[in-house]
Amino acid sequence: MTTASQSLAISGAARATQLAMAALLGVFIVGFLGFSPMEVVHNAGHDYRHSMAFPCH
């Protein structure tokens, strides 16, 4: 597939930036749902947080 060769062709800095953006998105999602002190978020994800052993109340 051509997409892979395109992604390899980009410069190291652009590559690092794009990976960093993807990582930040992941950190934001996991942090928000796993650690948010907002009660509504906590309650919606209550069973998930317990099941995945996030520190929770």
Partner 1 sequence: MTLFRNVVFVAALAGLLAGLVLAALQSFATVPLIIEAEAFENAGGPLHDHGDAPSGAADGSLHEHGEDAWAPSDGFERFAFSGVVNVVTGIGFALLLVVASEMAGGMAGWRQGLMWGLAGFGVFTLAPGLGLPPELPAMPAADLLDRQTWWLATVIATATGLALIAFKGGLTWSLAGLALIAAPHLFGAPQPPTGDSLIPAGLHRQFMIAATLTSLIFWTVLGAVAGAARRRFVGAASGLSGSLA
CA distance 32 to 49: 12
What is the nearest approach in angstroms of partner 1 to the Cβ of residue 44? 4
Residues near partner 1, by CB under 8 A: 1, 3-8, 10, 14-15, 18-19, 21-23, 25-30, 33-35, 39-40, 42-48, 50-57
What is the nearest approach in angstroms of partner 1 to the Cβ of residue 36? 11
C-beta separation of 42 from 36 below 8 A: yes
C-beta separation of 38 from 44 below 8 A: no
What is the nearest approach in angstroms of partner 1 to the Cβ of residue 5? 6
